[in-house]
Amino acid sequence: MSSTFTHQGFTLWLTGMSGAGKSTISDELMARFRAVSAKVELLDGDVVRTNLSQGLGFSREDRDTNIRRIGFVAELLSRNGIIVVVAAISPYRAAREEVRARVTNFVEVHVDCPIEVLAQRDVKGLYKKALAGEVGNFTGISDPYEPPVNPDVHVRTDLETLDESVGKVWSELIRRGLISQ
């Protein structure tokens, strides 16, 4: 990557079920952005929940409140020229669309992977427990996950390498003129 890298402020929103690869892809994107000295921040769903949304549960209302809070912070940062990478399950389509409507330069990435593969990857055994009815409000099992109807980028982490998935995202950012190198 050359030293002529430039960027606009934008929000790159990675949505997908637990274990699909949102954090892995966002970590690689963050490394690429930092390698070219981009102004970038990561809003990881788990970290935000601990620090900004502490006390919220997993009802639909609480999940939507959490997404709105993440969206608010992303909007503030991106309108000030910062690249914002969001890695959050964000299970409900309406909440994601609400954020998209507020945030300029919003790019939605669906990090997709079949439940069977997610269950195999799950070292904590949460999918197995959720499928057995032992865990309530588990996204994609006992609570809905509404995948994007028309995401800006769709990656399949069960079929693509990390480099292929990240490359698709990077290419879309270049195509939109949000980054250049």
Instruction: Convert the pLDDT of each residue in 12-48 to its tens digit.
Output: 999 999 999 999 999 999 999 999 999 999 999 878 8
CATH topology of domain 7-114+150-180: Rossmann fold (3.40.50)
Instruction: Convert the pLDDT of each residue in 161-180 to its tens digit.
Output: 999 999 999 999 999 999 99
Q: Is the pLDDT of residue 88 over 90?
A: yes
The residue among 21, 6, 18 whose CA lies nearest residue 166 is: 21
**Hey, what are 166's tokens?**
């990240």
Contact yes or no for 8/81 (Cβ under 8 A): yes
114-124: b (≥16 Cβ within 10 Å) or e? ebebbbeeeee
Residues labelled as active-site residues:
90
CB-CB neighbours of 43 under 10 Å: 21
| Selected residue with higher pLDDT from 3 and 104 | 104
What's the CA gap between 81 and 7, in Å, rounded? 8
Q: Which residues, 6 or more positions from 166, have their beta carbon under 8 angstroms from its beta carbon? A: 25, 28, 29, 32
What's the CA gap between 74 and 71, in Å, rounded? 5
Instruction: Convert the pLDDT of each residue in 100-128 to its tens digit.
Output: 999 999 999 999 999 999 999 988 888 98
Ramachandran region of residue 109, left (φ > 0), alpha (ψ -120 to 50) or beta?
beta
**Hey, what are 171's tokens?**
């290419």
The predicted pLDDT at position 3 comes to 57
The residue among 149, 137, 5 whose CA lies nearest residue 62 is: 137
Strand 179-180 vs strand 6-7: parallel, antiparallel, or unpaired?
A: antiparallel
